[in-house]
Structures are given as structure tokens and as C-alpha cells.
A and B are shown apart, each in its own frame.
Chain A
């Protein structure tokens, strides 16, 4: 699947988008997998209460299953308007 990062999550991890092969069943499992990779991921995902997640461009939550999902995006709370 494609994993996208926005705002300070993108800056902390150091890239906007990457292809991830994963067996993670939920978003939380994917976060654990990414955090275990490198310190920059662990730093970005240190406090998931400060993060939001979208699955296939729809807001979702960290318990949501990943089956069939093609695009996951992580970002801080939105500041539009």
C-alpha cells in the first residue's frame, strides 16, 4: 500500500510518501511496524493521540482494519479555514 505523511509528520519522517509491504491487520499494527524501523518513525508516532489517519482518503481511526486499503495517510489535526 501507499503510505503518505503530511505537515510535521512528513518533516519528521523525511518523506511525503512511500510504498509499504505489510501484513499489519490494523492501523495500530502498521504504526508499530513503522515505529520499529527507525528512530525518525518512532519520533513521529510517539504520541498517536496527536495524529489523525485517513484510509483511502477518508478519515478513520487507529483501530480500523487495513484489509483492502490502498492508501494510508498520517497527519496532525487539520488547520483549514
Chain B
């Protein structure tokens, strides 16, 4: 299990390759990547703040919960902070499991919990000004299905 909270970009291809190569005996590897999205066409940057110390331990706990619930060979979470431009990759999750159902479900579980339980806060900087991204009720509701 690897958890990385970092400012610098990550190499999606290299990370996926290393993760998949290490997952010996696993029949399924699922990767998810989150990307900075420019919804209204005016986004200049996304600033991501986090809580150093708590961020790593919160993600580790979420990953351990996933490992307890599904049959997983390995878990990888990389999440960036700092100033990101539209199109940049914010984060990635990878899961390896003997079967695809576990790998897919665990990846979704990780994403749902990372959204609402890992201490990150996003601020959008647009041409018109800047504002904190509000948490959505749907994101909180998404936790109930687990």
C-alpha cells in the first residue's frame, strides 16, 4: 500500500506500470484519475489546500478500510496539493485484486471517501474572482451506500 500526498505532478503511466507489475497473481487492476475540470470556461487555476499530517493518516485509514472490506492485493493513492492548471491531474487511485468486482468497488469506495473524508479543500481561481468549492450533498450521500 502506498499513499503519497505531494505538490509535484505524477507520471500516470509510470505509476500504473509499477503498480500493475508489482501486483503478482492479481487478475484485475483498476486505476482512476481525477483531472482539474474547467466547467464554465473561465477557470485559471485550482488551489488545493490540505492538512499536513492528518491528510496522510486519513487516507491510510480509508485505504485500510477498503482492504478490510474487499479482497485486495494492493492499493495506491496519490493526491496533489498546491496550484494546478485546468487539465492537470489532481489525484489517482489504483486497486489490484484477484477479481475485477473487488478492484472496481474498492476504487469507487476510495474515491467516495477521499472526496468527503480526506482533509483537502479546493479553491477555484477564475477570471471573475476566486471562491472555495462547496461540498455537495450528493458526495456526502454517496457514503451511505457503503
Cβ–Cβ contact A79 & B54, under 8 A:
no
CB contacts under 8 Å to B, within A55-81, are: 57-59, 73, 75-81
Asked if A7 CB lies within 8 Å of chain B CBs, one says: yes
Asked if A3 CB lies within 8 Å of chain B CBs, one says: no
Asked if A54 CB lies within 8 Å of chain B CBs, one says: yes
Asked if A4 CB lies within 8 Å of chain B CBs, one says: yes
Asked if A41 CB lies within 8 Å of chain B CBs, one says: no
Instruction: State the total of A-B contacts with C-beta under 8 angstroms.
Output: 68
Asked if B117 CB lies within 8 Å of chain A CBs, one says: yes
Find chain B residues with CB under 8 A from A4 CB: 51
Cβ–Cβ contact A59 & B122, under 8 A:
no
Count of interface residues, chain B, beta-carbon cutoff 8 Å = 26
Asked if B72 CB lies within 8 Å of chain A CBs, one says: no
Give chain A nearest CB distance to B134 CB in angstroms. Answer: 8
Q: Please tell me which one of the listed residues A73, A76, A81 contacts residue B54 in the complex, with CB atoms under 8 A apart.
A: A73
A8 to B122: give the CA distance in the assembly, Å: 10
Chain A: CB-nearest residue to B115: A81
Cβ–Cβ contact B132 & A7, under 8 A:
yes
Chain A: CB-nearest residue to B47: A7
Cβ–Cβ contact A75 & B121, under 8 A:
yes
Most buried by B among A4, A73, A75, A81: A81
Find chain B residues with CB under 8 A from A77 CB: 116, 134-135, 140
CB contacts under 8 Å to A, within B114-140, are: 114-123, 132-135, 140
CB contacts under 8 Å to B, within A1-22, are: 4, 6-8
Chain B: CB-nearest residue to A7: B121
Cβ–Cβ contact B49 & A78, under 8 A:
no
Q: Please tell me which one of the listed residues B51, B91, B123 contacts residue A81 in the complex, with CB atoms under 8 A apart.
A: B91
Find chain A residues with CB under 8 A from B90 CB: 81
Digit string of B88-119 for contact with A (CB within 8 Å is 1, else 0)? 00110000000000000000000100111111
Give chain A nearest CB distance to B59 CB in angstroms. Answer: 9
Chain B residues in the interface with A (C-beta under 8 A): 34, 49, 51, 53-54, 57-58, 79, 90-91, 111, 114-123, 132-135, 140
